[in-house]
Structure 1
Amino acid sequence: MIELLSTIYPYVKAIHVMAVLSWMAGLFYLPRLFVHHAERGMDNGEPGRSFAIMEDKLLRVIMRPAMIVVWISGLCLVFTPGIVDWSLAWPWVKAGCVLAMTWFHGWCAGQRRSLLRGNSLGGRRYRIMNEVPTLLMILIVLSVIVKY
């Protein structure tokens, strides 16, 4: 198994990067949809129904599969010998940020359900929460590239 992970490492890394891009795109866009949904689509008519469809498709068709691939490929990378030195800070920072990103994904899914029930945090709060994945991405990229 260890030899297989070493052999396929570049492919797993490429898949991981592609899945991260897809997941992050969704995490950046979904809270923006929430802003518009909260400010213009809280009734059961249009555009509320359109926002609900876009949010559902983004979560179910793009974000959830991408997150699963990120986790599977990321764990494969972690278990590849010689890739992660757990005595350094960077893998711990990255792991914490990925857990936070996963929590944020779950929070977004919960907010989508709240919006469907007619409950909204308001456009301003969704705008603020839209910055969370950006901050986490900055920490992840710095930790992985700089490897402090």
Structure 2
Amino acid sequence: MILWLKALHIFVMLAWMAGLFYLPRLFVYHAMTTSQEAKQQFIIMERKLWWFVTPFAILTLVFGIWLIISYGAAWFAASTWLHVKIALMIGVYAYHFYLYKLLRDFAADRNRHGHKFYRVINELPVLVILAVVILAVVKPI
């Protein structure tokens, strides 16, 4: 049973991350365009993508909690690597909702950032996810 939970946790996390990596890329293109027609199309694409990946974010959390419960309290208490991973994941969830704020700003024509800002925020989560994967697989601490 635990292996199935792990597989589902990894799958929904991958689906979620794919969306989190693509949404800021849409913001890059959105920030670069001057066409009102293109801006409206980006608003639709960004909203649909955010709402498509949000259930994967929820399922990532559900399967993660289910795994912790399955392993038990003693395992959780002894798993320092998991505590660090959870702290990093709280940051990823904050990032997820920050992207929603940015999406709303674009939809209301209140974008205050240039395409370079969106390029940077598109790349930063890669490092966090790398750390999360290393923690989960290698368990260095």
TM-score by length of 2: 0.91
Residue in structure 1 matching 2:65, options 58, 75, 93: 75
In the alignment of these two chains, the number of paired residues is 138
Cα root mean square deviation, aligned:
1.6
The one-letter code of the counterpart of 1:16 is: H
Q: For the Cα contact (< 8 Å) 2:68–2:76, is it kept in 1? A: no
Matched letter for residue 142 of structure 1: I
Higher helix proportion (structure 1 or 2): 2
CA-CA distance at 1:84 after TM superposition: 4.2
Q: Which runs of 5+ in 1 are unaligned?
A: 1-7
TM-score (norm 1): 0.87
Alignment-mate amino acid for residue 101 of structure 1 = V
Q: Select 2:2's aligned residue among 1, 9, 22.
A: 9
Amino acid at match of 1:29: Y
Of 40, 45, 65, the match for 1:49: 40
The match for 2:102 among 111, 118, 126 is 111
- 1:99 maps to 2:108: no
Instruction: Structure 2 unaligned segments of length 5 or more: list them.
Output: none
Give distance in 2, aligned partners of 1:147 and 1:86. Answer: 14
Could you say which residue in structure 2 is the equivalent of 1:27?
20
Q: What is the distance in 2 between the residues matched to 1:58 and 1:17?
A: 20
Among the aligned pairs, what percent are the same residue? Answer: 33
Distance 2:31 2:75 in 1: 42
